[in-house]
Structure 1
Amino acid sequence: MERFRSVLLTIFAIIGTFCILVFGVSLVFGLKPEIVVSGSMEPTIPTGSLLLVQETSAAEAEVGDIVTLERPRNGGLVTHRITSIEQEYTDWKITMRGDANAADDPQPYVTRTVGAVVATIPGAGYVAGMFRTPFGIAGIAVVALALVVAFAWQPRSRKAVPGEVQVAEASR
């Protein structure tokens, strides 16, 4: 049981350290985590990756950069590679295409800022996405409770009574 506790504690310490690191880096450097939910950027960015995105001026973006932008009419976020960019008054008109797509996105995006992809962590988006669901939150609570029970509960060893002979169990 002691070995099981040690392994369990190590696994959750690694997961906890990773979460704290991602949160701390995000906070210090103004990064926002985003989860990749489609394969339009594969193989460069696999589905299920966790992206760390930093908001920057569109004036700093260049053709070939991978950026995250809001789709028109609150259609969610899209992360693709810039294929063309041109200034239009105080805004920028950006055309993008996913690496796995044969054609550019249907319409250019008009914006003043872009989410520059700073880091990609393959597979971590699946874990982060799971924690955003009621099932994931309940799972965290159950695991936390199980850890408390596993480390708080100690089987009592029988204390020797004066005058009682203790016999060791034979090992097989």
Structure 2
Amino acid sequence: MKLISNILYVIIFTLIIVLTLVVISTRSSGGEPAVFGYTLKSVLSGSMEPEFNTGSLILVKEITDVKELQKGDVITFMQDANTAVTHRIVDITKQGDHLLFKTKGDNNAAADSAPVSDENVRAQYTGFQLPYAGYMLHFASQPIGTAVLLIVPGVMLLVYAFVTISSAIREIERKTKALETDTKDSTMST
């Protein structure tokens, strides 16, 4: 029983730490955790299926040199000031000093209507994904999600502490009662 209790404690404590780090990272980065040039992105549409599905969490790496990108690479670019899109490069053209990328979602019938300027390219897909984990990240970026992901594990830890303390008190009472019974039995026999 003690082993199970210790394992449960470690799991809950680890969960609290991980969720706290995810929430802090999500909040500080404006919605998507980023570490060492890598960013986790939530997939919000099915345009890239079957490469990755809606609700997946994908890992993208910040682009340092757009000239290294090739036809077939999957990139994340800013479609407008607030919208990041992750699609595959289907063609690359040069216009003056800039590269223009024609992109297309794998699941879309046609290529995107406007070419993407190299200035709008932010990252390249690394090939790593976690199916359905994007839903949790998206939830964590919402105020209610932040509260739930911090409060629920905290409450679980408090419940665990209450159960542990109650169990310890019962054990002490049991030992005290046993000691009293032993003392009473030994005084009666003398």
TM range (shorter): 0.7 to 0.9
Contact preservation (8 Å) 2:90, 2:102: yes
Residue of structure 2 in register with 1:65 after alignment = 73
**Identical pairs, percent:** 29
**How far apart, in 2, do the equivalents of 1:58 and 1:10 lie?**
42
Between Structure 1 and Structure 2, the one with more helix by share is 2
Question: How high is the TM-score relative to the length of structure 2?
Answer: 0.71
**How far apart, in 1, do the equivalents of 2:20 and 2:176 lie?**
46
The 1:16–1:39 alpha-carbon spacing in structure 2 relative to 1, beyond 3 Å, is: farther
| Equivalent position amino acid for 2:85 in 1 | V
Max Rg structure: 2
**How far apart, in 2, do the equivalents of 1:152 and 1:43 lie?**
45
**How far apart, in 2, do the equivalents of 1:27 and 1:97 lie?**
27
- Give the CA RMSD over aligned residues: 3.0
Number of residue equivalences: 161
* Structure 1 unmatched ranges of 5 or more: 166-172
Query: Residues 1-172 of structure 1: matches in 2 within 5 Å?
Result: 3=4, 6-7=7-8, 9-10=10-11, 13=14, 26-28=34-36, 30-56=37-63, 57-72=65-80, 74-112=81-119, 113-118=121-126, 119-153=128-162, 154-155=165-166, 156-157=169-170, 158=173, 159-161=175-177, 162-164=179-181
**How far apart, in 2, do the equivalents of 1:144 and 1:68 lie?**
33
The 1:122–1:92 alpha-carbon spacing in structure 2 relative to 1, beyond 3 Å, is: same
Mean alpha-carbon deviation: is it higher for 83-92 or for 6-15?
6-15
Contact preservation (8 Å) 2:19, 2:149: no
> Displacement of 1:55 after TM fit?
2.0
**How far apart, in 1, do the equivalents of 2:122 and 2:93 lie?**
14
